[in-house]
Amino acid sequence: PSANFSLEELDKLSLFHPVTSIADVQKNGPLIYAKAGGVRMRDHHGRDLIDLGAGLWCVNVGYGRPEIADAAAAAMRNLSYYHTFGGASNEATICLADRILSLLRERAGAGHLARVFFGSSGSDANDSAYKLIRYYNNLLGRPQKKKVISRLGGYHGVTYASGSLTGISAYHTAFDMPIEGVLHTACPHYYRFGEDGESEAAFSDRIVADLAAMIEREGPETIAAFIAEPVMGTGGVLLPPADYFAKVQALLDKHDILLIADEVITGFGRTGQWFGSGAYGLKPDIITMAKGITSAYFPVSATAVSQRVWRVLEEASPRMGAVMHGFTYSGHPVGSAVAMANLDIVERDDLVAKTAENGPYMLRQLQARLAENPYIGDVRGVGLMIGVEFVADRGSRRAFSAGLGPHRLVARHALERGVLTRALPFIDVNSFSPPLSITRAEIDEGVDRYVTALADAMPALHTLAS
Ligand code: PMP
């Protein structure tokens, strides 16, 4: 109960701040979170929910960590804000930049990354990358080299640049997206897009050949960058086929095209390694990060750029003037203090190594418990990033008809059974990405609840499939 409103009033008044899924609220009634600790959340009616999504893949250290709250309070008392212009900085943010670069160097072999630009969301980190690349090529005297290639199913945000990079059409409709100069190439999801009889290696060769053909068609002199999540998250928890990135990287190197790794989800441990770039052997010129920097205790994003890119910006800046890009909240001292406290926990509690053990455990549990279900075609994952893909027919891998949403139905039942999972917007997948601090007992409990919810949903799934 709140000091201002009764429970009933809160239910009614939840429409006061309309969210994008207003139709959900109208259909299902309000869901008002009141409290959270560890992997569990409570709604305002006191219902216990296990969060197998860590919010939107972000609350890596779990909810309610007092160390982080204390760090935020101390930072607010000491220096609640600073001037972001005129080259100014603050100590917490300097420490955070150094720490991120050190982690990239030591944990992902990315010692070539030299500088960090800060922001406050994954979308703005990708917008920053998009603009810095323009700036870089302009300074090199080749302003026509400005197109960026992304992938169908990729998710990079919702602002005009990052939303255009996103390769999911639902985010484009009504907005005249993608903007000019953003191109989308094939989605590397063998299970759904591999052709009958095609091996995974042949599939990978085919989609890389498609990319090569796109580059030739457009003219390599017009292509500035290729952006990719090491593991696609919102697209459906899609792991790259073996050698896919090595082949892509060779192609990019040949044409002097920069690689941007979007590590907004994979950064800071989610795959069981510190960075997806390290896990999959990428050598990005730019890495964008957000969620895991602070475990979502404060909105902070980062765009790390390589020495190669930085050298051009640095040398030319005195001639060209400032990069006219930056946000009011870039390098926020409170956000940086929160990030430092969060990363302390990740290191102290050894959460990345734990993820490398508990992730495969959770995957095995789900695979075993869902093996007999006729509507689940694939259960896959890496670290604590797991996807359950629904099909109308397992033998043929036929998907449910567009718009039926078997995965939305199951996620709804899961909520009723007290477990939070996401229904993703590109293909019919429920995703699981719990806090990295989750214990095996909590994994078992969450999986039990999900399996029960799936049983609840079976009659409706039969109807959808028929
Ligand atoms: N990139 C990736 C890979 C993401 O998963 C997300 C958010 N889900 C974003 C970018 C955008 O982040 P934000 O919502 O903070 O703008």
Q: What burial letters (b/e) apply to 204-221, b meaning 16+ CB within 10 Å?
A: bbebbeebbebbeeeeee
Q: Are strands 376-382 and 385-390 parallel, antiparallel or unpaired?
A: antiparallel
Full domain range(s) for residue 409: 31-61+350-465
Please state, in angstroms and rounded to a whole number, the distance separating the CA atoms of residues 283 and 108. 9
Shared-domain flag, residues 36 and 128: no
Shared-domain flag, residues 221 and 175: yes
Shared-domain flag, residues 117 and 207: yes
pLDDT digits (tens), the chain, 466 positions: 567 888 888 877 777 777 767 777 788 888 889 999 999 999 988 999 999 999 999 999 999 999 999 999 999 999 999 988 788 999 999 999 999 999 999 999 999 999 999 999 999 999 999 999 999 999 999 999 999 999 999 999 999 999 999 999 999 999 999 999 999 999 999 999 999 999 999 999 999 999 999 999 999 999 999 999 999 999 999 999 999 999 999 999 999 999 999 999 999 999 999 999 999 999 999 999 999 999 999 999 999 999 999 999 888 777 767 778 889 999 999 999 999 999 999 999 999 999 999 999 999 999 999 999 999 999 999 999 999 999 999 999 999 999 999 999 999 999 999 999 999 999 999 999 999 999 999 999 999 999 999 999 999 999 999 9
Q: Is 39 exposed, middle or buried (0-12, 13-18, 19+ CB in 10 A)?
A: buried
Which of 227, 231, 264, 275 to probe ligand 1 with, by most ligand atoms within 8 A of CB?
264
Q: Is residue 272 part of a domain?
A: yes
Let me know: does 306 contact 149? Beta carbons within 8 Å: no
CA distances (Å), origin 12, targets 27, 68, 351: 13, 33, 40
Lay out the sheet containing 223-228: strands in order across.
113-119, 301-306, 286-289, 258-262, 223-228, 147-151, 182-185
- Using the atom order of ligand 1, give the atom closest to the CA of residue 291: 15
Shared-domain flag, residues 122 and 39: no
Let me know: does 211 contact 248? Beta carbons within 8 Å: yes
Shared-domain flag, residues 173 and 240: yes
Cα-trace Rg, the chain: 22
pLDDT at res. 2: 62
pLDDT at res. 5: 83
Shared-domain flag, residues 187 and 215: yes
pLDDT at res. 125: 98
Shared-domain flag, residues 229 and 118: yes
Give me the torsion for CA of 453, 459, 464, 466, rounded to 10°.
140
pLDDT at res. 323: 77
Please state, in angstroms and rounded to a whole number, the distance separating the CA atoms of residues 351 and 43. 27
Ligand 1 center to 124 CA (angstroms)? 9
Let me know: does 124 contact 159? Beta carbons within 8 Å: yes
Please state, in angstroms and rounded to a whole number, the distance separating the CA atoms of residues 103 and 66. 24
Q: Is residue 184 part of a domain?
A: yes
Let me know: does 441 contact 360? Beta carbons within 8 Å: no
Q: Is residue 25 part of a domain?
A: no
Which of 128, 155, 275 to probe ligand 1 with, by most ligand atoms within 8 A of CB?
155
Q: What burial letters (b/e) apply to 104-116, b meaning 16+ CB within 10 Å?
A: beebbebebbbbb
Full DSSP string of 279-333 = HTT---SEEEE-HHHHTTSS--EEEEEEHHHHHHHHHHHHHH---S---TTTT-H
The number of domains in the chain is 2
DSSP for residue 65: -
Let me know: does 333 contact 76? Beta carbons within 8 Å: no
Please state, in angstroms and rounded to a whole number, the distance separating the CA atoms of residues 147 and 13. 45
User: Which residue puts its alpha carbon closest to atom 5 of ligand 1?
Assistant: 265
**Ligand 1 neighbourhood includes 290 CB (under 6 angstroms):** yes
Let me know: does 335 contact 97? Beta carbons within 8 Å: no
Ligand 1 center to 166 CA (angstroms)? 10
Shared-domain flag, residues 150 and 41: no
**Ligand 1 neighbourhood includes 229 CB (under 6 angstroms):** yes
Let me know: does 262 contact 376? Beta carbons within 8 Å: no
**Ligand 1 neighbourhood includes 121 CB (under 6 angstroms):** yes
Ligand 1 center to 216 CA (angstroms)? 30
* Of 284, 314, 348, the domain-final residue: 348
Residues 6 or more apart whose CB falls under 8 angstroms from that of 107 comprise 273, 274, 275, 278
pLDDT at res. 11: 78
Let me know: does 119 contact 289? Beta carbons within 8 Å: no
Shared-domain flag, residues 393 and 276: no
Ligand 1 center to 123 CA (angstroms)? 6
* Of 348, 375, 401, the domain-final residue: 348
Please name the helix (run of DSSP H) or strand (run of DSSP E) that holds residue 345, with its range, or none: helix 333-348
Full DSSP string of 403-449 = T--HHHHHHHHHHHTTEE-EE-SSSSEEEE---TT--HHHHHHHHHH
Shared-domain flag, residues 440 and 318: no
pLDDT at res. 417: 98
Ligand 1 center to 231 CA (angstroms)? 13
User: Which residue puts its alpha carbon closest to atom 1 of ligand 1?
Assistant: 156
- Using the atom order of ligand 1, give the atom closest to the CA of residue 234: 5
**Ligand 1 neighbourhood includes 156 CB (under 6 angstroms):** yes
Residue 123, both tokens: 């979308």
Ligand 1 center to 80 CA (angstroms)? 26
**Ligand 1 neighbourhood includes 233 CB (under 6 angstroms):** yes
- Using the atom order of ligand 1, give the atom closest to the CA of residue 301: 15
Ligand 1 center to 12 CA (angstroms)? 30
One-letter amino acid identity for 394? R
Give CA 362 to chain center in angstroms: 20
Q: Is residue 252 part of a domain?
A: yes
One-letter amino acid identity for 179? I
Please state, in angstroms and rounded to a whole number, the distance separating the CA atoms of residues 375 and 261. 33
Instruction: Provide the CATH number for the domain around residue 211.
Output: 3.40.640.10
Please state, in angstroms and rounded to a whole number, the distance separating the CA atoms of residues 239 and 280. 10
User: Which residue puts its alpha carbon closest to atom 13 of ligand 1?
Assistant: 122
Let me know: does 451 contact 415? Beta carbons within 8 Å: no
Q: Is residue 120 part of a domain?
A: yes
Q: Is residue 447 part of a domain?
A: yes
Which is nearest to 65 in space by CA: 444, 440, 436? 436
Find the helix packing angle between 200-218 and 244-254, rounded to 10°: 20
Let me know: does 243 contact 200? Beta carbons within 8 Å: no
Shared-domain flag, residues 271 and 166: yes
Please name the helix (run of DSSP H) or strand (run of DSSP E) that holds residue 40, with its range, or none: strand 40-43
Ligand 1 center to 158 CA (angstroms)? 8
Please name the helix (run of DSSP H) or strand (run of DSSP E) that holds residue 42, with its range, or none: strand 40-43
0.90 surpassed by complex ipTM: yes
* Of 301, 323, 348, the domain-final residue: 348
Instruction: Provide the CATH number for the domain around residue 411.
Output: 3.90.1150.10
Which of 128, 265, 431 to probe ligand 1 with, by most ligand atoms within 8 A of CB?
265
Which is nearest to 60 in space by CA: 278, 280, 358? 358
Paired residues of 289 in beta bridges: 302
Let me know: does 304 contact 115? Beta carbons within 8 Å: yes
Q: Is residue 4 part of a domain?
A: no
Shared-domain flag, residues 78 and 46: no
- Using the atom order of ligand 1, give the atom closest to the CA of residue 263: 3
Q: Is residue 26 part of a domain?
A: no
